[in-house]
Amino acid sequence: MTKAARVYSWFISLLGIGVGLYCCYLYFSSWGANWPSELLDFIMLVLLCTISRMLPVYINEDQYFDISFISIFTALLVKGPVAAVAITLISTFFVFEHGEKRDEPFRYILTKPLIKTAFNTSNFLLSIYLPGQVFLLCGGRPGEFSLPFSLWPALVFIVLTLICNAAILMALLALNRQVRFLPSLFSTVAMLLPNFAAVAPIGYLLGFIMSRPSGLYFALLFLAPLLVARYAFQLYVTSKVQYYNMVKVLTAALEAKDKYTEGHSRRVESYSVQIAQAMRLSAARVETIRVAALLHDVGKIGVDDGILRKPGLLTQDERSIIEGHPQIGVHILEDTDLSDATKQIILHHHERYDGGGYPSHTDYRNTPLEAYILGVADAFDAMTSDRPYRSGMPTEKALSILLEESGKQFHPRAVDVFIRSMGGYEKYGLSPVEPVTGRVR
């Protein structure tokens, strides 16, 4: 971790914990003579928050998110932002979490690194408290659920909570030189906002139930369908993970035919996603490119090994066979549930910007931008990797070739964005081609 990132993480940690303790003082001191009723509500909300934080939904082996936003949103609507912060902080001490991988033992707050726990908790608390104050300024009134007037402050809170949480985390990663702040912030918000919007109505309904007479007991009954909903969503996420893993298995089977292409598809996936995110394409388009990149060479399964591994130059007939691999790939994937967009990217990833590519010889006016993004990533990795007939070339040389072919073989904007995402023109002694043109469909 860089010095700037370390200082920032401690600053956020101290600020967040300070805000959390202050909110606990304000919340508990406000109970007064009504403390028995307030205590029951407090226990219920802490229980709800703890359970939801202990049942994360796994996206892959080392990435997951929890559904605790439901309980936080409920606490905000019923008790206000100060109570929501206090309940979140208290519940932290009762949460047992999975390790970084699913098969690792559970971990408790005291078994995890102090700075990591403090930063994550503080990020959580600040992302509730600050948007919560805006919620109040927008007319939000805890305990009141008059429609449609109460929806606007709630919507503002949802959006600002996501932005605040993502901004605090992306700032840390940017200071640690792991990501670019704004592109990562935009992509994260775009990816998670639909999830927040989907679970928010559950929190709103739960808050409405708790605000009614005897609502506490009805809320307890509501926990059962909430957990069922979480289980159903976990099945959906698991099916997506299994689908993605099957794609990787198919790719590995292809690359096993040729040691020189081992890891090629994964690297092309990484470069393609890097370009797409830097172009600020939607999360859906980025995901489509990701899958297409992994499968872009699947058609080479139908190409003779002798041609694939030939150490010398290919004959015209052999080149024609190689150039048929996009159609073979689409044919192999014809009966799968891959989207048409994914298949089109695979089919056209060798088309040239000027129309001289294959298999359809279409130019930039009739070829998806995603296919050109994949084409740049594929060409760069091919040039920088060892092949039977040559050694991989240096990064500087490969980028200079991409730049020379910008507007001819490669999409100018895809080349420009890729070079900038790799560190910029000055780093490699290159000069941008002007003007950088090309449309986005």
Per the confidence metrics, is the pTM higher than 0.75?
Answer: no
Rounded Cα distance between 126 and 169, Å, is 12
pLDDT digits (tens, 9 = 90+) for 248-273: 777 776 666 666 567 888 899 999 99
With bands split at pLDDT 50, 70 and 90, how would you rate the model's confidence at 441?
Answer: very low
pLDDT digits (tens, 9 = 90+) for 117-162: 889 899 999 999 999 999 999 998 888 887 778 889 999 999 999 9
Number of neighbours of residue 244 by Cβ within 10 angstroms: 16
DSSP conformation letters of 359-417: SS---TTSS-HHHHHHHHHHHHHHHHS-BTTBPPPPHHHHHHHHHHTBTTTB-HHHHHH
Instruction: Tell me which amino acid residue 226 is.
Output: L
According to the model, what pLDDT value does residue 153 have? 92
Rounded Cα distance between 143 and 192, Å, is 27
Q: Is 211 exposed, middle or buried (0-12, 13-18, 19+ CB in 10 A)?
A: middle
DSSP conformation letters of 287-323: HHHHHHHHHTTGGGGGS-HHHHT-SSPPPHHHHHHHT
Residue that wins the pLDDT comparison between 397 and 301: 397
Q: What share of the chain is helix, strand, coil (3-state, %, to 5)?
A: 70, 5, 30
Chain-centre distance of CA 97, in angstroms?
A: 21
Ranges assigned E (strand) in 90-243: 96-97, 107-108
Strands 57-60 and 107-108: unpaired
Rounded Cα distance between 122 and 120, Å, is 5
Pick the CATH number of 256-428 from 1.10.238.10, 1.10.3210.10, 1.10.620.20, 1.10.3720.10: 1.10.3210.10
Is pLDDT at 82 greater than 60 in this prediction?
yes
Is pLDDT at 321 greater than 80 in this prediction?
yes
Residue whose C-alpha is closest to residue 168's, from 124, 109, 135, 118: 124
Rounded Cα distance between 177 and 180, Å, is 8
**Domain segments of the chain as ranges:** 3-236, 256-428
